[in-house]
Amino acid sequence: MTQRFSKPNNFADQTVSLAHGNGGRFMRELIEQIFVRHLQNDLLDTNADAAFIPLADNLTELVVTTDGFTVEPLEFPGGDIGSLAVHGTVNDLAVSGATPLYLTLNTFIEEGLELKVLERVVQSMALACKACNVKIVAGDTKVLRRGQGGGIYFATTGIGQRISKKRLGLKQIQIGDLIILSGSVGDHGTAVMLAREQFGLSGTLKSDAASVLPITQALQDLDGLRFMRDPTRGGVATIVHEIAQVIKCSVRLYEQTIPVNEQVKVVCDLLGYDPLYMACEGRVLAVIAPEFAAQAVNKLQQLGYFESAIVGRIEEGRAQAFLETELGGERILQELEADSLPRIC
């Protein structure tokens, strides 16, 4: 890592663009070249959803994660920025094999925001905390001048304790493992986009925003479980691309078995988006040894996640992800680059 960033950068007159925030290549480079380059240490792993930090007593291992929330509009079908700020961080702990316990909350409010909107959002946050059994233990509030904020931005940091006996992570993935998805892709991103009404489209689609704790708790004791992640910014395609790069393997997705909501399909077709790159906020992508994959899907379906399915496979080959289409062709899933859809989560 050190060698990679040993040359000082010359950023000259470069500026930050929206693509630096979309979860794809530019964002990865920004994080590597500026944040990791200066802030790296033995506990910071930008390929993980959460950090595992040992405490002095050597008995307890904390799991820590953090996430910022900037979704626009603040309230959308199926959720709002308040519940999202709880679920997003709870989910990062959940997919890391941890029980979420505590949250801290940062609020940035724009001058002029209606107090009743703020209250609705905080109330929704409280309900989500209760449902996930987490407590907000510390908070801070800043007010931004009109025009310097987008209504509300939240940042939540989550602290949990590890429950999974084995460590999960990208590096546990092996050739031959199967990929399962707990539900349909792209509902959140598409629902938020529709809620903006900027495309002249509307629909009944709801965000999938929810806690994934029931899913991760069902999966985490299965033998053969290697890795879990919630596909948020950059969607499922971004995760499988990362798997391919880190494991140096091919990742094959089966278009035929990937659950996609009909409305998501139609809207994405119309606007030229690919559901595989759209954010989910209540789904889990898991990688599991082949002999346990059917059992995992079964377990999820029994819990009511009826769309859960085996959607792909880890294969030997070039480090790339591709989609086996319904017609039998293959399409490479490139790393996300430009994308004009900011403030989706």
120-159 residues in contact with a second copy (CB under 8 A) are 122-123, 125-126, 129, 135-145, 147-150, 153, 155, 157, 159
Q: Which is nearer to a second copy, 170 or 311 (CB)?
A: 170
Exactly one of 14, 262, 304, 327 binds a second copy (CB under 8 A); which one? 14
CA 311 to chain CA mean position, Å: 18
**Nearest-approach distance from CB 150 to a second copy, in angstroms:** 4
- Binding to a second copy by residue 168, rule CB under 8 A? no
77 lies in the site for a second copy, by CB under 8 A? no
For residue 7, state whether it binds a second copy (rule: CB under 8 A). Answer: no
Cβ proximity to a second copy, 108 vs 292, nearer residue: 108
Burial 106-119 (b: 16+ CB within 10 A, else e): bbbbbeebeeebbe
- Taking the complex as a whole, the smallest distance from the CB of residue 134 to a second copy amounts, in Å, to 10
Place of tokens 């009909």: 262
Does 161 contact a second copy by CB under 8 A? Answer: yes
What Cα–Cα distance (Å) separates residue 232 from each residue in 83, 98, 145, 210, 246?
15, 19, 30, 12, 19
Number of chain positions touching a second copy (CB under 8 A)? 84
Tell me the per-residue interface mask from 79 to 118 with a second copy, x by CB under 8 A, - otherwise: ----------------------xx-xxxxxxxxxxxxx-x
Q: Give the closest residue to 53 by CA, choosing from 156, 157, 197, 150.
A: 157
Interaction of residue 13 with a second copy, rule CB under 8 A: yes
**Cα-to-chain-centroid distance, residue 246:** 17
Stretches 6-14, 247-255, 271-279, 326-334: which one binds a second copy (CB under 8 A)?
Answer: 6-14
Residues numbered 262-281 forming contacts with a second copy, rule: CB under 8 A: none
Q: Let me know if 276 is exposed, middle or buried by CB neighbors in 10 A (0-12, 13-18, 19+).
A: buried
Longest CA–CA separation in the chain, Å: 58
CB 132 within 8 A of CB 213: yes
Rank residues 150 and 183 by Cβ distance to a second copy and give the closer one.
150
Which amino acid, 181? L
Shortest distance, CB of residue 141 to a second copy, whole angstroms?
A: 6
Q: Which of the residues 29 through 48 are near a second copy (CB under 8 A)? A: 30-31, 34-35, 38-39, 41-44, 46
- 118 versus 303: smaller Cβ distance to a second copy: 118
Could you tell me which of 63, 51, 49 has the C-alpha nearest to residue 95?
49
Nearer to a second copy, 143 or 266 (CB): 143
Q: Which of residues 51-70 bind a second copy (CB under 8 A)?
A: 51, 53, 55-57, 59-60, 62, 64-70
Shortest Å, Cβ 123 to a second copy: 5
> Which tokens hold the place of 295?
């059992």
CB 240 → a second copy: shortest distance, Å? 21
Residue 26, classified by CB atoms within 10 Å of its CB into exposed (0-12), middle (13-18) or buried (19+), is buried
- How far is C-alpha 313 from the chain's CA centre? 20
Choice between 260 and 278, CB closer to a second copy: 278
Q: Is 2 in the site for a second copy (CB under 8 A)?
A: no
Indicate the SS3 state at residue 153. strand
Nearest to 78 by CA among 206, 194, 185, 202: 206
